[in-house]
Structure 1
Amino acid sequence: MIEIHNIHKSFGGKKVLDGISGVFETGKINLLLGASGTGKSVLLKCIVGLIKPDLGSVTFDGTYFTNNKLDIRQEIRRKIGMLFQGSALFDSMTVEENVDFPLKMLTNMSRKERIERVNFCLKRVGLEGANRKMPSELSGGMKKRVGIARAIAPNCTYLFCDEPNSGLDPQTALKIDELIKEITEEYNITTIIVTHDMNSVIEIGDKIMFLFEGKKLWEGTKDEIMDTDIKELNDFIFANRLMRDAKRIEEEDREEEQEREAEEHARLEKNKPAG
């Protein structure tokens, strides 16, 4: 579990994050949702320690992270896996070398142990046998899978994904979403995903935090997000015609159900024995 409390961050006098607090649960997909420029990626970088917040704190499973001793921060960082928006693979390295990189940097495993771990992770993401391929030989979806394999290679406890579906076609994006959810549940990882993709919300969002102009306006589940009275959130959700149609159909179904219940209640009242 990751907890953030009262996170503030400004750049050049411009407030980017304005007092954000929340809890990200273990074994679930926690989404940071919002339009571009709302502070999602900055908040993610504050959580993992790439950016220092001006005010506020972050704890990982009860261990204070922000401004703690260097050795404690380093120990937590060893448990963090990161999937960057563009996958961020090393172009001059093979797939195997890319996945092996954090193992060389963060563990004391032998060469044999590392390659066994690399092969396991590649198999887990559906890229068994792709060891010798170069990033230039991979499709966008395959690069994302290599990025996921690299992120989980050191047996991460916390997984952070910055726009994992960026640049992917809808079918491939769905497969990447499913893979991240499977890995999160299988290894009981605390996963935080930055996204503006409502498909991801509907498919895998266990817990969602909606940011708007650097503030947390709403927090809840994918089942609750369709029925809020927050204008900014509704404007974001239903900007897509498909989502507007889905909302309309949901409301029509609810009205029909209410009518059936009312008719059934009236029928029972009419047939109720006198006295």
Structure 2
Amino acid sequence: MIEIHNIHKSFGDKKVLDGISGVFETGKTNLLLGASGTGKSVLLKCIVGLIKPDIGSVTFDGTYFTNNKLDIRQEIRRKIGMLFQSSALFDSMSVEQNVEFPLKMLSDMPKDERMDRVNFCLQRVGLENSNKKMPSELSGGMKKRVGIARAIAPNCTYLFCDEPNSGLDPLTAIKIDELIAEITAEYGITTIVVTHDMNSVIEIGEKIMFLYEGKKIWEGTRDDILDTDVRELNDFIFANRLMRDAKKIEEEEEEAEQNSQNKE
């Protein structure tokens, strides 16, 4: 579990995060949702320690992280896996070498154990026998899978995904969403996904925090997001015609059910 407490962050005169607090639960896909420029990625960077908040704190499973001793912060960082928006694979390294990289940096595993772990992670993301391929030989979806394999290779406790569906076709995006959700549940990871994709919300939004102009203005699940009365959230959700149609169908079904009950 990750807890954030009253996070504030400004860059010069621009207030980016304005007093955000919340809890990200273990074993669930926790989504940071909002339009571009609402502070989602900045909040993520504050949580993992890439940016220091002006005010506020972060705890990982009860351990204070912000401004704690360097050795404690480093211990927590070793438990963090990161899936970057662009996958951020090393172009000069093979798939195998990319996945092995954090194991070489963060562990004392001998070579044979590292290879066993690499092969296991590649198999888990459906890329067995792809060890020797180079990033230039991979599709966008395959690169994301390699990124996930690399993120979970050190047996991470916390998984952070920044716009994991960026640049992917809808079918591949759904598969990546499903893979992230499966791994989260299977290994009991605390996963935080930054997204503005409503497909991801519907597919894997077990817990959702909606940001607007640097503030948290709504929190809930995919089951109740369509029934909110928060204007800013509704404007965001129903900007998509498909979502407007889905809402209309839901309302028509509820009305038909109500009429049927009244007749009885």
Question: Which TM-score tier does this pair reach, normalised by the shorter chain?
Answer: over 0.9
Aligned equivalents of 2:77 and 2:257: distance in 1? 51
Aligned equivalents of 2:108 and 2:263: distance in 1? 70
Deviation at 1:261, TM superposition (A): 1.1
Per the alignment, residue 134 of structure 1 pairs with: 134
Residue correspondence of structure 1 range 215-230 to structure 2 within 5 A: 215-230=215-230
Residue segments in structure 1 that go unaligned for 5+ positions in a row:
265-275
Per the alignment, residue 209 of structure 2 pairs with: 209
Residues 1:123 and 2:129 are matched in the alignment: no
Residue type at the aligned position of 2:123: K
Deviation at 1:114, TM superposition (A): 0.4
What TM-score do the two structures reach when normalised by structure 1?
Answer: 0.96
State the Cα deviation string for residues 55-92 of structure 1 (Å, max 9, x = none).
00000000000000000000000000000000000000
Per the alignment, residue 248 of structure 1 pairs with: 248
Aligned equivalents of 1:106 and 1:55: distance in 2? 30
Aligned equivalents of 2:9 and 2:105: distance in 1? 30
Per the alignment, residue 196 of structure 1 pairs with: 196
Aligned equivalents of 1:212 and 1:150: distance in 2? 32
Residue type at the aligned position of 2:32: L
Q: Secondary structure at the match of 1:126?
A: coil
State the Cα deviation string for residues 207-263 of structure 1 (Å, max 9, x = none).
000000000010001011001111100000000000000000000000111111111
Aligned equivalents of 1:169 and 1:59: distance in 2? 36
Per the alignment, residue 34 of structure 2 pairs with: 34
State the Cα deviation string for residues 155-205 of structure 1 (Å, max 9, x = none).
000000000000000000000000000000000000000000000000110
Aligned equivalents of 2:32 and 2:154: distance in 1? 24
Per the alignment, residue 10 of structure 1 pairs with: 10
Aligned equivalents of 1:94 and 1:174: distance in 2? 26
Residue type at the aligned position of 1:137: E
RMSD of Structure 2 on Structure 1 (CA): 0.4
Aligned equivalents of 1:112 and 1:13: distance in 2? 52
Aligned equivalents of 2:204 and 2:38: distance in 1? 22
Residue type at the aligned position of 2:30: N
Per the alignment, residue 238 of structure 1 pairs with: 238
Per the alignment, residue 183 of structure 2 pairs with: 183
Deviation at 1:28, TM superposition (A): 0.2
Per the alignment, residue 156 of structure 2 pairs with: 156
Residue type at the aligned position of 1:247: K
Runs of 4+ in 1 over 2 A off after TM superposition: none
Residues 1:105 and 2:105 are matched in the alignment: yes
| Structure with greater Cα Rg | 1
Aligned equivalents of 1:119 and 1:13: distance in 2? 48
Aligned equivalents of 2:223 and 2:123: distance in 1? 33
Aligned equivalents of 1:128 and 1:158: distance in 2? 24
Aligned equivalents of 2:25 and 2:260: distance in 1? 39
Residue type at the aligned position of 2:75: E
State the Cα deviation string for residues 19-43 of structure 1 (Å, max 9, x = none).
0000000000000000000000000
Residue type at the aligned position of 1:131: N
Residues 1:74 and 2:74 are matched in the alignment: yes
Residue type at the aligned position of 1:41: S
Per the alignment, residue 88 of structure 2 pairs with: 88
State the Cα deviation string for residues 90-115 of structure 1 (Å, max 9, x = none).
00000001000000000110011001
Q: Secondary structure at the match of 2:251?
A: helix
Length, aligned pairs only: 264
Deviation at 1:13, TM superposition (A): 1.5
Per the alignment, residue 268 of structure 1 pairs with: none
Per the alignment, residue 267 of structure 1 pairs with: none
Q: Secondary structure at the match of 2:175?
A: helix
Residue type at the aligned position of 1:205: G
